[in-house]
Structure 1
Amino acid sequence: MNKKHILPVLSLTLVSSLFPLLQALAIDEAAFNPNFIISDEQLEDSDSMSRRDIQIFLDDKNSTLANYFTEDANGKRTKASEIIYEAAQEYKINPKYILVKLQKEQSLITDPTPTQKQLDWAAGYGVCDSCSMSDPKIQKFKGFGKQVDNAAGIMRWYYENTDTQSWIHKPFVDYIIDGQNVSPQTQATAFLYTYTPHIHGNLNFWKLWNEWFNQTYPSGTLLKAIGSPDVFLIQDGKKRKITNFRALITRFDPKLIVEVPSLELSTYADGVPISFANYSILFDGENYFLLDNDYLRPFASAEVVRKLGYNPDEIISVNKSDLEGYPMSAQITTSSASNPAGKVIELNQKGRLYFLKDGVYHFIPNKQVAESNFPGYIPEKADLSILDTFQEGKTLGFKDGTLIQVQGFNKIYVIENGKKRHIPNEKVFLSLGYKWENVIPTDLETSLLHEDGLPIEGKQQTVALQPASLSSNITITPTPNSPSPTPTQQNPLPTPTKNGLPVFQETGIMYETPGVPSFVGTPYDTKIDSYLIADYDSLQILEGKNVDSPRPLASLTKVMAAYTMLEEGLDRSTVSIYDGSRHKASYHRFRIQNGEAIRNQDLLYSMLVSSLNTPSIMLADSLATPDIVVSKMNANAKNWNLSHSQFADTSGLDLQNFSTAREYLSLFKNTLENKELKRILSLASYEYEEVIDKDTLKMHQDTHSNQLKAKTDLPFTITASKTGYLYESGFNLTMVVQSKLTQKKYIIILLGNPDYTNRFKDAEAFARWALAQQ
């Protein structure tokens, strides 16, 4: 984003809210202090959310903006999350501020069908209370990208010009706003009133900010005020009082209760109390109900209650008012359920656990998950044949509020709404009142049942989270090092060409080969644009689709970059010092500070194992210059007669890094002749230390971006692999698989997989298909 000098709109009073479509908030308005809305530290925390965090936030809110592409302030077509991130970085303003502003002004986070007018005036910038949006004077501010850019930019302008512009509100000065005396306690608060000179508009901002970003404890957490016997469940931003011990122990593990100051609880509005034990039978004078977690399931009749064997002494008489707030669920009949509460079974044959309920069985991957969902469970022994009468359901994961650690990794997560949220460091972990003994170790496969949610505090930087007996300064590098994927790729684009070569442009949408697909061998039913399976020794293509169609390589480019640098004599023992002004790449997820030093060998491993972008620039800079390395890469391609392959950088971020599946097959096999490169691509993980450490976090651990490397039950071994992803390329993967039975090796190349969620399932299916051809 180009730096611009933003001028304030002196003749306009900025609007407080054009579309009052704010969602119902659980924040108590009585706690609102008009003199202190947010701190300057909060407003200027531009690194509070990464690109990925912003995208996850929009996805979690089911926001239209999650898949919205438009022009940014410079006319470049890109994704909404990217526009928000770039504006935050350009002006050093918190992206959370931008997200709240978009909701407060136009409800763009939660409105499922925003109008073009809402999008065009997304932040209300330049529009006064009595102005028309068709006023010619303000059309220069029209457009989502311009609105986001100006909303962030004006805040930075206020900071830089507050001493010279008397009309900018200032801290510790009394103002009369909507008939009320206000004395801002921070510059950030003063600037919010400068932007929106109304109490109610800033109250809405404060409510949204606190609802989304200031309520620390995730849903599923049990809280108890210090010195009080009352226990509350935090759920959807509200606190629900658990009114009796039986209601507590039938739903939760009491050892997970976190003690907090009473003031902490006061920030949560009251929700529906939890007054009955789970699976209670309730009678309101007319109807019988089973309380199934938070749902009421009506019995078809009193006779059904009797036939299902419930003891009359178990039935609790209640008032109809006691049942208010509980949603209704499926009716219980004698034919629909023999055990409406469900039951956990353990198979006699293999000891596997399943949960049976309402004609559906759910696999329970391990005892930790079972205990998380069913405290104190005692499984019923059963034969495998029992599953024949049930339909297969979703595998169960951990319950909300559970703390987990993936075995072999040094990250702690808390589960919320079925997603795992990373707790960034030990300080945060302990400040929340969590206890190490409540962290449940689990395997990688089980953890992958939970998608990633926003990190607690939204920080991308990661540090170790381990008890004192373990290393306290190891970090796991996030992978893959690529833009956050869209849930679905819509309207794939055909590849434009010039002089017979592709010209890929940044569109935010995956390119696809136009026309009828061409196949080698038997067509495989897949939306992957281009693929091949080849014999490793002869390079004969056994199966393939669009094998001669050029496609963006994304991080598959790094294989050629690494090979070229190794062949050109890269000194792997040399130490490279990080300079962010020269080395920081887009999608920079490398935990490194200016002045920190790392050996080239370790940079090489980070570049290939975790697929980090910044190390590729540091290595090229160490050897010569990035441009010289790129020219050598293209020279290698020419020497190997790869006429439809081209390279433009060392990281793969440039869309003009492209090749075909057929040519990349030759490239990959040629590069594997370098034994060092082949060994690195075979690793599942790698650890190293910084030579010069500036932030007391000297240890790094990289995990291979191909998640199949972590699986141990596959009929093949992956002896070398690399992944890549850009919006325009889709998911790319290359790997060498070797049959454990016959030792036969195959090369698999997948280019342009639009289904990011199932990318490794597809890769595994191709590998199994290859082995089936033996």
Structure 2
Amino acid sequence: MKQRLLSIFLITSIIFPVFPLQAQTVPNSQNGLDAAFDPNFVLTDDDVFDSASWSRDRLQEFLLSKGTLGHYVTADIDGTQKYAADIIIRVANTYKVSPKFLVALMQKEQSLIEDPYPTQRQFDWATGFGVCDSCSKDDPAISDFKGFANQLDYAAKQMRERYYLRLLMNGQTNTGMSPGRTTIIDGIEITPVNFATAALYTYTPHIHGNQNLWTIWRRWFSKKFPNGTVVKGIPSGQVYWIRYGKKKPFASQTVAGTLVDLEKAVEVSDSELAGYEEGPQINFPNYALLRNPAGQIWLIVDDERRHIVNMETFGKFGFNMDEVEDVGDEDLASYAIGNKLTLDDQYPKGQLVQVTGLKAIWYAEGHTKQLIPNPTIWTLYFNGRRPRQITQEQLDSMTTLDPYGFKDGELVKHPESPAVYVMEYGKKRPIPSGDIFEELGWKWSSIETIPTSVLDAVPTGMPILLNEPETLLTVAS
């Protein structure tokens, strides 16, 4: 299954090309594959070759949480007794291969990470290196590859030097796998989109073996973000909005910019986002005017569409027919139907209002109003916009909702405390450590400093975990 000859070259700094995704000729369901798995794109180049993806301490914490490998001590290639984590990190740094990839590879080959009672044979052939499908592990010809440290060393060296270096120098691996070149594997056309996928099919020339690796990766490393988080997939560049456990793609950055702060977008590998079900695409900017084939005109407000009941109402709010875009019913299907927009409505696009002579500022939209509870909210979400002066009668005519709060996904902290929280469902959720903060891809520059009295008034929720339970993703606690 694996190649035995090794080159002596090592490359430490690379720019990774990405090729367009290729459509499969046969649906996954007909091949016994996971419908979400694209066999042309197993993992990203960074997933396989980012040696700094984990620190030694983070790796050890992971191994201890999964099984017995965190306690395993054995000889490294120099004869020194070391913990498994130390050997993995040494190999990762030597060959510039991701420690995450190495542990996923061991799980794929020998179930070594999660097996509570691994055998010596599993340790001895940890990465499956040198063992082809028809080979015996007792064959003297492969005895040099035996041993935990040897297996990691040979596998990492093979991936970096023989496969990766050849891809850079010759455009293909020793078996002819190459990004953008179609090869028949298990009766299916496979066109790798990147170096990592080409290398993985060279190491394991079977689709289901690589799907197993992808499944392990998705189960372990697909990050779970709080509701409201904006993420940018790497290398695709696709921007998503995490909403109630789904990733909703934006049709463009222009559309995204009308709904979210793109400066606070979290960059995360596309493979780490694979665990999310993809929701309907967000096609239109906030407050777009759209006309369906039946001639109805709708106003888009966040993730809802409001039907403008007649042209008198349309004119009342100063809308212009030049702003109206004709769309199909399918374009509107992903938007929930909100309240109709009538002559009785006020401020369909939202407006800060204030009764003349009073200090309180409100956010008014449609028939409703929300108190702006403090200047921090005003500054953060309304850029200090001046409120429109209205009468007490006008204010009283609107239904009062809960005060305007922090948006889901907002990172906040006290002025004199290092503790950082993320807002979700009206609560502030503690982020237990800087490691978790950085592993989830958040930017320190995105943290908003909030007055102590304001932040203390927000209820505290459950701490953030790297792999959130599904209930926390979908239910407001």
Q: Give the alignment's TM-score, normalised by structure 2.
A: 0.51
Is 1:388–2:396 an aligned residue pair? Answer: yes
Corresponding residue to 2:442 among 434, 448, 460 = 434
Which residue identity is paired with 2:278?
Answer: D
Distance in 1 of aligned mates of 2:338 and 2:213: 37
Which moves more between the two structures, 364-373 or 404-413? Answer: 364-373
- Find the counterpart in structure 2 of residue 324 from structure 1: 333
Corresponding residue to 1:344 among 352, 363, 388 = 352
For residues 538-553 of structure 1, the aligned pairs below 5 Å read none
Deviation at 1:322, TM superposition (A): 1.1
Deviation at 1:424, TM superposition (A): 2.2
Distance in 1 of aligned mates of 2:384 and 2:228: 18
- Find the counterpart in structure 1 of residue 283 from structure 2: 275
Which residue identity is paired with 2:327?
Answer: V
Query: Conserved in 1, the CA contact under 8 Å of 2:350 and 2:363?
Result: yes
Distance in 2 of aligned mates of 1:284 and 1:319: 6
Distance in 1 of aligned mates of 2:235 and 2:214: 34
- Find the counterpart in structure 2 of residue 362 from structure 1: 370
Distance in 1 of aligned mates of 2:227 and 2:435: 20
- Find the counterpart in structure 2 of residue 45 from structure 1: 65
Deviation at 1:382, TM superposition (A): 3.7
Is 1:220–2:228 an aligned residue pair? Answer: yes
Query: Conserved in 2, the CA contact under 8 Å of 1:361 and 1:390?
Result: yes
Corresponding residue to 1:252 among 251, 256, 260 = 260
Change (3 A) 1:239 1:374: farther
Distance in 2 of aligned mates of 1:413 and 1:41: 23
Deviations 1:190-225 (A, max 9, x none): xxxxxxxxx9xx999969956xx8424333222335
Deviation at 1:258, TM superposition (A): 3.3
3-state SS of the aligned residue for 2:406? coil
Is 1:402–2:422 an aligned residue pair? Answer: no
Larger radius of gyration: 1
Distance in 1 of aligned mates of 2:234 and 2:421: 25
- Find the counterpart in structure 2 of residue 311 from structure 1: 320
Deviation at 1:283, TM superposition (A): 0.6
For residues 678-689 of structure 1, the aligned pairs below 5 Å read none
Query: Conserved in 2, the CA contact under 8 Å of 1:252 and 1:375?
Result: no
Query: Conserved in 2, the CA contact under 8 Å of 1:398 and 1:415?
Result: yes
3-state SS of the aligned residue for 1:362? strand
Deviation at 1:331, TM superposition (A): 1.8
3-state SS of the aligned residue for 2:228? coil
Distance in 1 of aligned mates of 2:246 and 2:269: 16
Deviation at 1:323, TM superposition (A): 1.3
Is 1:422–2:430 an aligned residue pair? Answer: yes
Deviation at 1:411, TM superposition (A): 1.1
Gaps of 5+ in 1: 1-24, 34-38, 47-154, 177-184, 187-198, 460-756, 758-774
Which residue identity is paired with 1:437?
Answer: S
- Find the counterpart in structure 1 of residue 31 from structure 2: none
Distance in 1 of aligned mates of 2:213 and 2:113: 22
Deviation at 1:391, TM superposition (A): 2.8
Deviations 1:99-146 (A, max 9, x none): xxxxxxxxxxxxxxxxxxxxxxxxxxxxxxxxxxxxxxxxxxxxxxxx
Distance in 2 of aligned mates of 1:431 and 1:208: 15
3-state SS of the aligned residue for 1:387? helix
3-state SS of the aligned residue for 2:337? coil
CA RMSD of aligned residues (A): 4.7
For residues 258-297 of structure 1, the aligned pairs below 5 Å read 258-261=266-269, 263-265=271-273, 268-286=276-294, 287-297=296-306
Distance in 1 of aligned mates of 2:215 and 2:267: 29
Deviation at 1:402, TM superposition (A): 1.2
Change (3 A) 1:301 1:208: farther
Distance in 1 of aligned mates of 2:241 and 2:377: 20
For residues 602-617 of structure 1, the aligned pairs below 5 Å read none
Distance in 2 of aligned mates of 1:355 and 1:250: 18
Gaps of 5+ in 2: 1-33, 44-58, 67-111, 134-150, 153-208, 469-476
Deviation at 1:281, TM superposition (A): 1.4
Deviation at 1:156, TM superposition (A): 12
Distance in 2 of aligned mates of 1:258 and 1:208: 18
Deviation at 1:294, TM superposition (A): 0.4
Change (3 A) 1:385 1:394: same
Query: Conserved in 2, the CA contact under 8 Å of 1:26 and 1:269?
Result: no
Deviation at 1:269, TM superposition (A): 4.7
Is 1:455–2:475 an aligned residue pair? Answer: no
Deviations 1:668-709 (A, max 9, x none): xxxxxxxxxxxxxxxxxxxxxxxxxxxxxxxxxxxxxxxxxx
Change (3 A) 1:395 1:271: same
Deviation at 1:383, TM superposition (A): 5.0
Change (3 A) 1:438 1:350: farther
Is 1:242–2:242 an aligned residue pair? Answer: no
3-state SS of the aligned residue for 2:348? coil
Deviation at 1:261, TM superposition (A): 4.6
3-state SS of the aligned residue for 1:339? strand
Distance in 2 of aligned mates of 1:205 and 1:289: 42
Deviations 1:20-77 (A, max 9, x none): xxxxx996586889xxxxx99647428xxxxxxxxxxxxxxxxxxxxxxxxxxxxxxx
3-state SS of the aligned residue for 1:340? strand
Deviation at 1:384, TM superposition (A): 4.9
3-state SS of the aligned residue for 2:319? coil
Change (3 A) 1:333 1:26: farther
Deviations 1:378-435 (A, max 9, x none): 4323455543222321112111221111344331112234432322223333444433
- Find the counterpart in structure 2 of residue 674 from structure 1: none
Query: Conserved in 1, the CA contact under 8 Å of 2:63 and 2:113?
Result: no
Deviation at 1:228, TM superposition (A): 6.7
3-state SS of the aligned residue for 1:342? strand
Distance in 2 of aligned mates of 1:244 and 1:158: 44
Change (3 A) 1:457 1:432: closer
- Find the counterpart in structure 2 of residue 606 from structure 1: none
Query: Conserved in 2, the CA contact under 8 Å of 1:421 and 1:456?
Result: no
Change (3 A) 1:158 1:223: closer
3-state SS of the aligned residue for 1:437? helix
Distance in 2 of aligned mates of 1:412 and 1:435: 12
